Amino acid sequence: MDLQLENRVILVVGGTGLIGRAVVERLRAEGAVAVPASRHGEDGVRLDAGSDDSVAAALEEVLERFGEIDGLVIAAAPSAQTLDPARKSDPAQVLAAVDGKALRFVRVANAVLPLMTDAGYGRIVGVSGQNALQTGNLAGSVRNAALIIAAKNLADSAAGTGVTVNTVSPGIVSAAPSRDVRPGQGGQTSPADVADLIAFLVSPLAGTISGESIAVGHRVRGVTSM
């Protein structure tokens, strides 16, 4: 399938991480101009999603170099393994987790949205996680659910402008995923699996999909969906 991404400029925030690298590789394979962004700026632009000034400077650099931003992928967040299980309901950790994932998504998306709405076209995809639908770690659940809710609000606000906003929710992501799915447990997913879905969502073909949260994985324990 031709995703019609040839020469599309897509900024990948967190583009040097496990999922971000796979997204950059997948988009470039489709002919897109994938621009990785990270706090250290390796092989791309320097962008700290926790800083308004850094976000503004990074967007200015991308526009100067490429003239436009057709798509935005936000995969920048501390790993779930950084959350202290002993403090899973600690308000300070919950607040930090939401800031580190959901608010950073909002900060970058808010900065890019006006550019896209003015252009009449744009695709934004945030990487959430299946913990949004699971209990057991309040910080992990809330940070992912908050990102999904934020994306839905932005999607609705951009309805009719040619801009879509969606999220993908991976389960356990591994560079070498196991094929085994134990009873009652979720299966593992490769970064490439996640990147395949993201590539579709940032393509022109996904113009009628917005405000959605799509799971990427095998079995997910939970009783509801968002």
Please write the tens of the pLDDT for every residue from 110-143: 999 999 999 999 999 999 988 787 777 788 889 9
At 223, is the pLDDT very low, low, confident or very high (cuts 50, 70, 90)? very low
Determine the pLDDT at residue 95.
Answer: 87
Q: Which one is the CATH code of 9-216: 3.40.50.300, 3.30.470.30, 3.30.365.10, 3.40.50.720?
A: 3.40.50.720
At 94, is the pLDDT very low, low, confident or very high (cuts 50, 70, 90)? confident
**Dist. CA 52–CA 58, nearest whole Å:** 10
* Residue with more model confidence, 83 or 76: 76
Helical segments of 99-216, H only: 104-119, 138-157, 191-201
pTM above 0.85, yes or no: yes
